[in-house]
Amino acid sequence: MYKRILLVSSLFLSGITGFTPKEGIDHPVISGPAEISTGIPSLALSFNLSEEKSFPGTEYVEKTAKDYFVSPIYGPFQVGDPDFNATFTYRAKIDDQQILERLRIFTADGELLNAQTKTTKTYENNALEKVTFLVPIRNCLSAKGITLKFEILAKSNRTILKTYSATIYPASTPNNTYQYYRNNVYQSLPIGFYGDGQSMKAIKETISFSNLGDYLESDYYYRLDVKDKGFNYESEFPLTYKSLNLRFEDHENLFPYYTHDINGNVIIPLDILNNRNRLTLRYKHNFYINKRTLETGDVYHNGFVFSPDFYLPINGKEHFDNKILYLDFVEFSKSKITMSYPLRYISGKAIVGTAPEGEYYVSGGIAND
C-alpha cells in the first residue's frame, strides 16, 4: 500500500510540472515601437519587464492536441511609427500537409492595405512553428485604426485553416477633466496586441481614480499622509508617467525651509507603491524635520533630522484646514493623461487638546477641601 501511494504521488507530480500555456506571459518581451518603461508594476497584470524572459513557445512544448498561439507584446503605437518585425509562435491541430503563412492588414472599413505570404511549408499535425513578418505600420496605421490578421492556409486550395486577428489604434490623449476621472472609469481604445496562448489579444488601458476620494488629512502627529490614496490600473503594458506631484500654495509661509516654485507653491514629488496589487501613493523623497517645531525642509538645515514623513508645523493646522491641495498628473499612462486632481485638506484631531480639537481632553475644575 505504501509503495502504491508513492507511485501515484510521483505520477501526479510529474504531470503538474509539464508545460502550461500561460508560462512566460508574466514577463513578456516588449518589441516594436513601444517606449522604454520607467513605470511601476501594475495592479492586475505584470508590468515588471526588467527580467528578460523568452516568450512562450521558444522552450520545450509537449505535443498535445490543443491549439497554441503566442507572441511578444507589441505597442503602443503612434501614427508614423517605424515598421517593425512581429514574431508569432503557433501549434495547430490540422492535418499533415503543405501550408502557407500569411499576414494581412485591413482598414477599419475592411479595405486591404497590405498582404504578405511566406513560402510553402510542410506542416506536421500539432508541430510547433515560428514565423516573423515585417509589419509596415508606417504606411498603414491611421487614427481610424487597422486590423491585423495572421492566417494559416492550405496550399492546395488556399482554404484558411486558422486565423488570429486584432484591431489596434494609435494611442491618443483624452481631453477629460478631473471631474470625469473622479466619476468614471477610463478605458482606452486598443493600442497594442500580443498572443496570449490562445488568441491574438488587443491591449487596452483601464484606469479608475475613484479611490482618490475628495480630501486629505493629517494624523494625530501632524503628518500629512498620502499612503491611503490610490487607484486601479489594468493593462498588459507597464504603468508609466512623466511626473506625479502633490502641490499646494503656501501664502502663510508655513514651510520656509522647503523649496517653492515661482508661484509660491510647495511641490512634493510622489511615487507609486504596489502593495500586493494595490496601487497607492507615497513620497518619492525623504525630508528633514525640526523635531521641536515640526518645520519641514527638503534639504538639510542645522538642527534638523532625517524623516520619511512630511509634517505640518505645530499650530499650523488651523491655517492649513480646508486648504485645496492638487495631485498633478503629467503624461500619466500610455494615454499620457495630464490633469490636476484637487483634494481638500481636513484637519484631524490632536491626541490631547481642548474639547473640540482633541481626541482626549481634560475637564473639571479645582477641587474644594
Q: pLDDT-based confidence at 264, cuts 50/70/90?
A: very high
The radius of gyration computed from the CA coordinates of the chain, to the nearest angstrom, equals 29
Which domains are seen in the chain, by residue range? 26-178+181-202 (2.60.40.10), 213-352 (2.60.40)
DSSP string, 131-153: EEEEE-HHHH--TT-EEEEEEEE
* Distance in angstroms (rounded) separating the CA atoms of residues 233 and 208: 7
pTM of the model: 0.74
Phi–psi pair at 243, nearest 5 degrees: -160, 155
Q: pLDDT-based confidence at 348, cuts 50/70/90?
A: low
Max mean pLDDT among 29-38, 213-222, 286-295 falls in 286-295
Mean pLDDT, rounded, for 264-268: 95
Specify the pLDDT at position 235. Answer: 94
pLDDT above 70: percentage of residues in the chain: 76
* Distance in angstroms (rounded) separating the CA atoms of residues 224 and 327: 14
Q: In the chain, where does DSSP find H-type helix?
A: 2-16, 137-140, 178-183, 317-320
* Distance in angstroms (rounded) separating the CA atoms of residues 186 and 208: 6
Q: pLDDT-based confidence at 230, cuts 50/70/90?
A: confident
Per the CB < 8 A criterion, the answer to whether 251 and 263 are in contact is: no
Mean pLDDT, rounded, for 270-295: 89
Check residues 110 and 34 and name the one with the higher pLDDT: 110
Per the CB < 8 A criterion, the answer to whether 212 and 182 are in contact is: yes
Largest interatomic CA distance in the chain: 113
Chain CA centroid to CA 83, Å: 25
Phi–psi pair at 360, nearest 5 degrees: -125, 145
Q: Is the pLDDT of residue 172 over 80?
A: yes
